[in-house]
A and B are shown apart, each in its own frame.
Chain A
């Protein structure tokens, strides 16, 4: 039997504990696995994405997964919803939805899932068309990046709003090769993951340097800058934290590394971002 404990607050600030769980799951085979959430008092997009990914990953190599539920009733109901959806559809596209969040496990470049999520959440959370349009661009870019570049052909996308946060929270998580690892394969002179991220930040975050393409993260950054949101990326052994609302930009080593990429975005729902980008960059109306 293997017990994997979830922390009290599995949010971005304490993401290392989630990363540690990934590595525990990867080293566990042919055992009965318990995810212990008894101490967990809050969940958000990050925790939900990791929990789903971890359970799916565990089921690939272990016969049984069980969850010890949180003591908090609200959190418990969310976890039950997740458990039911994942364990009954373990080999299929996972769709989980509640009034305040949507999660999909996506295994192809199919934007229908993104439209579904945006439509359902726009009804509940009542954000405007400008916000929806900007979110669509960001989500689509993150999806294609994961499916085309991670090597895993699957990612978890979670979008929603949680109490005590003014932001919409958006997470795209995959357990693929990781951005720094891919950069360093292409550019061996980048001698560690932090350097890889920093170097690419100076030239735009892309694994497609000197090839056509690679504008995706640049556009995400432009949108978030106009939106005054936040971009966080944890991949391999490095972390990126860009707080556009505060003008605070950091690339640092992660205490715990993992094979994969987690993009965690905090998006200001009262603003768009893409419209302002068009104005700022004086984009002409060719069509």
Chain B
């Protein structure tokens, strides 16, 4: 399964609304063994987008970080976006642990 963020979200690849589109698509296809995610040349740079698209899988959809790491493959994520993705994932992991 391949997801191209630019094709799905169009011009807006930074808002929470855009992130929700991606999360919904991930959930529809969660049974796939592997989901390849392509971002494209322009970095996203949006904590809101990454949180809504990926990190909320932890809090709202009860996915584990191991599941997410195993299933999602970011084929062209730049270093800045990769660090931002890790940042929002860590924030939600901490939040989920504190509530448990």
Interface residues, chain A, with chain B CB atoms under 8 Å away: 108-112, 114-115, 133, 136-137, 139-141, 143-144, 147-148, 212-213, 215-216, 219, 274-275, 277-278, 281, 283-287
Contacts and interface: CB of A to CB of B under 8 A. Distances in A.
Interface in B50-91: 51-52, 56, 59-60, 65, 68-69, 72, 74, 77, 80, 82-91
A33 to B, nearest CB: 34
Interface of B: 11-18, 42-48, 51-52, 56, 59-60, 65, 68-69, 72, 74, 77, 80, 82-91
Contact of B43 (A108, A136, A283): A136
B56 A111 contact: no
B43 A115 contact: yes
A147 to B, nearest CB: 7
Contacts, number: 99
Contact of A108 (B12, B42, B80, B88): B12
Question: Chain B binding site: helix, strand, loop or mixed by DSSP?
Answer: helix
Contact of A287 (B44, B46, B60, B74): B74
Contacts of A115: 42-43
A215 B89 contact: no
A216 B90 contact: no
B58 to A, nearest CB: 11
B59 A274 contact: no
* Smallest CB-CB A-B distances: 7 pairs: A136-B45, A109-B12, A133-B80, A109-B15, A140-B45, A140-B46, A283-B90
A283 B45 contact: no
A283 B46 contact: no
B77 A140 contact: no
A254 B38 CA distance: 46
A216 B14 contact: no
B81 to A, nearest CB: 9
